[in-house]
Structure 1
């Protein structure tokens, strides 16, 4: 059953990525939009938590929930920023690397042994990334948004490990999500309010009004909420690395969108690099 939840998570997160890419090209305030994304998750989570009679059992569970909120704040901000300044296919591939970091962190922190197949997966992924870097002429002075994709991957892997930890604590799912979405929406609200006065003098008359921006975020947030519920259920039933790897397959949905809808032209080197990176992730998945 866990694989069904993991595949659902991949589908919902893929839809979220597509909507992030689209909204990143609109003349709207990113912080306010993402505040809406998290706020709708908070409303649904706290309502469901109350209906089901769920609660927090310890301060450790509260800490994990708040840490998830901070990690999600960083990850979603980085992903949306990446889509706004970089090529969608490049950002989606780079942000789809949490399984790589999850397995590495498990090895460094918990002394989990790396198998030959996992090492092979790492080598293939790094080969694919090098080809992508070469084909896009990415350098330290010309990152083309790659830094945001990698930051998103790091933060999403951090969240994957925290999500698994919450299930190891037998924390109620909607109690955890209430803290995550509540804290995340608060952080985005603070960021928006902090820069609101500055933005008012810079944004053109064609910018989206605040109510429309926030409402759009709430619609996008439904995909994020559904994805989080699915992946936490998957973590509760399956192994961390395997669930993370399958959920990361959302990049295939985003890549299909960039090719068929955005009509992004792929060079031969990009096709080889993207294919190689995806194969590496699949090797990691099969190694679990």
Structure 2
């Protein structure tokens, strides 16, 4: 049954990735959007928790740790889509299972047998091919650094989720803690942005007034994309949050039924959805080496699923 929840979680996270890429190209405040995304999750899980009279135990506080990891992972992935190549970022953010299986082995003795190890080596080989095909350098990472950071943080989120199920924490209270923590973090960042923008606007008005007294004519300024209002951005973030909320609910349920590494690996298939989007909608062109790397990554994920039991 865990694989069913994992597959649906992969679909949800794939849609989230598409929406993140789409919104990352729009003139909006990233932190207002992500605050709305997490606020939606907090609202949904609070309503469900109250309606079914969930038990709020100390173990639910693990959700705060999950929220911090999720905050960092979502911010990094969104940043990667904004500044890098979408297909590359999508592949890199699909690989937290590599970290999860290794750490789970040391923490909870979730053993990695030979065929699983081979599958992981295939996945890593695929990622290295993708890296090689993009000619990445320390000066031109094409968003890879953000994709790698997101992978590590999402792995921490997955491991925390597995820990919460082992401690007997109920799903919805834990998810409420997760999303509330994320919403607070992005909300504070959003508030900082607003203060910085207010200071910048004041300085521009002062500079404009001084310039007007020194010149007699008007100066034409280039057209600039009208930025979305923070209220509109927040509401769109709440809409995006439905995919993130559903995905988190499904993956935590799957963690309660299966091994952490295997669940994380199947959920990593969400990259298929994002890559199809980047190929046919964004029109990213794939080189032969890049395609080979992606195929190897997917093959490794499938092999891990096959030999993971």
TM-score, scaled relative to structure 2: 0.88
Equivalences, count? 286
Query: Residue in 2 aligned with 1:195?
Result: 193
Query: Residue in 2 aligned with 1:54?
Result: 54
Query: Residue in 1 aligned with 2:268?
Result: 248
Q: Name the SS of the counterpart of 1:32 in structure 2.
A: helix
Show CA shifts across 1:234-260 (max 9, x none): 112222111111111100011111111
Structure 1 stretches lacking a partner, 5+ long: none
Query: Residue in 1 aligned with 2:246?
Result: 226
Contact 2:27 2:225 in 1 (8 A): no
Query: Residue in 2 aligned with 1:100?
Result: 98
Shift of 1:112: 4.1
Would you identify which runs of 4 or more consecutive aligned residues in structure 1 move more than 3 Å? 108-113, 199-205
Contact 2:110 2:259 in 1 (8 A): no
Q: Distance in 1 between matches of 2:55 and 2:107?
A: 29
Contact 1:100 1:122 in 2 (8 A): yes
TM-score, scaled relative to structure 1: 0.95
Q: How does 1:142-161 map to 2 (within 5 A)?
A: 142-161=140-159
Query: Residue in 1 aligned with 2:121?
Result: 123
Q: Name the SS of the counterpart of 1:131 in structure 2.
A: helix
Q: Name the SS of the counterpart of 1:4 in structure 2.
A: helix
Show CA shifts across 1:86-123 (max 9, x none): 11110110000011111111233345443211221222
Asked whether 1:210 is paired with 2:230, we answer yes
Shift of 1:125: 1.8
Contact 2:60 2:177 in 1 (8 A): no
Structure 2 stretches lacking a partner, 5+ long: 205-223
Contact 1:118 1:287 in 2 (8 A): yes
Whichever of the two has the greater Rg, that structure is 2
Query: Residue in 2 aligned with 1:169?
Result: 167
Shift of 1:161: 1.1
Contact 2:14 2:273 in 1 (8 A): yes
Q: Distance in 1 between matches of 2:259 and 2:109?
A: 16
Contact 2:90 2:147 in 1 (8 A): yes
Contact 1:241 1:285 in 2 (8 A): no
Q: Distance in 2 between matches of 1:108 and 1:199?
A: 46
Greater Cα offset, 41-50 or 105-114: 105-114
Greater Cα offset, 229-238 or 113-122: 113-122
